[in-house]
Chain A
Amino acid sequence: MLRRGVRLSYDKTRGAHVLLFPEGVLVPNSTAVAVLELCIGKLTVAEIALALRERYDGVREQDVADIVNRLADRRVLEFR
């Protein structure tokens, strides 16, 4: 899930999604955005990958896990 205090929104000025949190701003790429948009409930990585396969080709669970871990390292996501 998104850590408390983190917001994902769309910035019209930059034409990009942005992650807003106390320490700064990140501009995630569209792949990360696709993952982040699914980090709202209590889905597991496998469930997120399954949901992404409905919209994209070639989604590997390991790629999703890598993205989730990197976002957790940046303190954007937390595991619950």
Chain B
Amino acid sequence: MRGWERRHAAQRWWGEGPRAGSVMSAEPPLGMLAELTHRCPLHCPYCSNPLELIAKHNELTTAEWLSVLTQARELGVLQVHLSGGEPLARHDLPELVSHANGLGCYVNLVTSGLGLTESRMTDLAERGLAHVQLSVQGASQQTANLIAGTRAHEHKIAAAELVRAAGLPLSVNVVLHRANHDELADIIALAERMGADRLELANTQYYGWALRNRDALMPTREQLDAAEPIVRAATERVRGHMEIVYVINDYHEAYPKPCMHGWGARQFTLAPNGDVLPCPAATAITTLELDNVRDTPLAEIWYDSASFNAFRGEDWMQEPCRSCELRGKDFGGCRCQAFLLTGDAAATDPVCGKSPQRQLVDDILAADGGEPAFAMRGPVERAR
């Protein structure tokens, strides 16, 4: 056996993530976001599900999901995020948790908390569930229920208790927007009372329902300015027992986000009907032809499909991305956002200060959208 020091010197500390290179060579994916269903008891106007929801009769069967999980693990997936809609709406959830855990995956449940009972929580924990991510809509019952479009708030407080009683780590996720930004300090206090290990405060990103409601959701400049010192002080105060992650919307940034760490690089999303998406919002790109696990093996879709190769590496890039020194860091930003705002999915993400189309974003920020009413996310019963 080689000596300690030699090993230490010869090997990198952390494995590097996949690199964006001009040669197309995909690495195995690390994570899968499994949208088990689009059914959900909540109607949040910023829902990340597509405007065209998938109906129950088009959802993958239990056998199909079990096969997807097996294929995903063989492909290299280590993290499985069971999401939706509300994943608790699927009665086979315990079976899927057992299977994913048995395969060696880290299983995360992304839930609204509605439908979580003590017996279901205990059962899921015994089956190997590793982590629960609970959404919270606001600090006050009134705001939270208004955003959720139903009486959800008290269920969330109860759900957090169940997660803690089961001994699982808890992340609280809050999407921030104009209607709840002023409650930020109270939201942080609520997450502390819930016993969260981690609090993610993410300003709304405008895709799907959130894009449709952008004028009503966009926080004011004053709200954003007020938020920063609150977050900074709280982060210091709770250090050691709760981690706070605060994400601002990229419209306000000078450079785009490194969306998905590159297209088809680390993670993919399974829609309830088996469509495989390179990004959770990818159905927005209407020019993208998606493949489905009912017709094609997952590995073939990951490595060979037109959709996953469309924006892999750098060959697809236009100027100013093509010659930009940041292209290996931000991968040109978000393809879905480029398509939604410019109509061209291969354009530089227009939030980038170097984009010739940045004016589109500045105009949106400068516009006074007024106080329009929310278009609440519809029920799945009306879906195809």
Contacts and interface: CB of A to CB of B under 8 A. Distances in A.
Q: For the side of the interface on B, what is the size category? A: 20 to 34
A22 B169 contact: yes
A27 B8 CA distance: 15
Interface string A29-64: 111100000000000000000001001111100010
A28 to B, nearest CB: 7
17 contacts: A5-B131, A5-B168, A5-B197, A7-B106, A11-B104, A20-B106, A22-B133, A27-B15, A28-B14, A29-B14, A30-B7, A30-B11, A52-B4, A56-B3, A56-B7, A58-B6, A63-B4
Interface residues of A, number: 31
Contacts of B28: 13-14
B23 interface: no
A7 B108 CA distance: 13
B11 A29 contact: yes
Contacts of A75: 243
B5 interface: yes
Contact of B169 (A4, A28, A55): A4
Given A5-B130, A75-B243, A29 B4 contact: no
Nearest to A27: B15
B148 to A, nearest CB: 23
Contacts of A18: 78
Contacts of A55: 1
B342 to A, nearest CB: 31
B14 A13 contact: no
A38 B87 CA distance: 36
